[in-house]
Structure 1
């Protein structure tokens, strides 16, 4: 064990038997923070509510949806938008946890389980809006602890910056992440790679961390893993590849693919790699957006995939359906949502069942 923070690690979630389950394990609920920040969708925020509510409607068919809202006015507006799409409001709960922005994957609660004693806990990582890019973020930063207090759950504070979209889990001891994000000096410049791995393992209850390189072009998070490579079971990943050699994503995604081939799981086996196409570039106001089919969300009742009115939409849905035979795969048009530089996985955070 590294000596740099033994006090924290001696009583870490891992030492106490907690771990972060895979996304495909059963959920009690999905957490969201209702979108309200117009600067995240400049001139376009009114267009996102229909697909956002369609997402909630589908998730709510298999689990509770718990939504952080700023006030009664926001709650009333949210209900009216959800009613328009016919969402089951009996499955939807609202919590007055004011937010700065909507990206609950990154600022929301990281739920841990201790399956031996049937306990649930929350990790409240530090949050700085992807390296201080989009202040203010103070409201977002405290949401996990507020949720833990409401549900009387233990909460752990590693006191370093970490975002949910930067880490991917197979539920069997392995975390997948990127050097572009976690080694960026705008996150934790006082920590080296080995130290960051220790934090990840101790606070997520994992045994190893595997590293990829860069994220896709247009990703303002500095390369979140959930736009490029996702576990779909303990030993299989879906990873996006670009077929056009002239596209600016081509080489970096080829490099990630080659790296994936060299990685080994705890049992020594290589990953089973399934390739997923990229959509054609999605451009808005001369800005390349981080459109990717990898930003899907695995809910109890369905796998919800962002689509982009693209020729590859159906092909991507077929591939994802092939690796989730027990769930319905549903595409929802994310062309307007992606203007906010994220999609359904970025917007959501699962609460696992004990």
Structure 2
């Protein structure tokens, strides 16, 4: 299949794809763009943000800022006032948040209550815990994951973007990311729904702490670099950016197969696509993906504008893009 044939196939079958970037054997071998996007433009990568946050937490662990992910979350928020009668929160650890086994009060994500507050970290902590206690059940959440970026601020005294730019993005050649704080609910909505190219921004709360579960805008080239960093066990051009131990932990299954999530398994905010074939992914709504195939030494990154319920992107990568690149 020629490049033009692949370009047209994607236009017809996956019309919301904006950019693709591919690394093979450690080298950038393919990139393409659609919908007026340029290679350097950014796109909201949605929940793939979570996997980037996992890497930032790992850097904080490597640097000794976080003593152990088995520490109670409240160890790092000594001024937080626990709600009367709430006991479970005392036992919630950083590991629970990384593995999506943290318990919360209520069902679903409390978007309005958290995102309309002046302090998203405290608002998220208010939902942590509950009467059921620790069950170790997989409980996928997005907005309250903000606790992790709040934690990064507490241990580093740096905003999320400053921490990420200093310790992850700049060292691997990703353009500086800046804060973006929508002032209204409508602006917040448009941040997600808008289909046009974005700059390198990260949605943040009024305290300039970036959202942990979504909100990061990167290019497919940026995402491919991050995927290649992970494939190389945290090493970039001979420099260890993240410890290999942390990368291995991110990719080690912490759950059984999850029927509600296409029988995938979960690591530390990374999806285990196939642990036998050693394929892993950062997955965001609308088909935003960092696909890592250790066996084939292949990384595929895709950015996409908002389109709900895109569920076949991994199959598309493995059926069309990977064979095209590996032939």
TM over 0.5: no
Identify, as 1 or 2, the structure richer in helix. 2
Larger relative contact order (CA 8 Å, sep ≥ 6): 2
> What interval of TM-score do these two structures reach, taking the shorter chain for normalisation?
under 0.3
TM-score (norm 1): 0.24
Identify, as 1 or 2, the structure richer in strand. 1
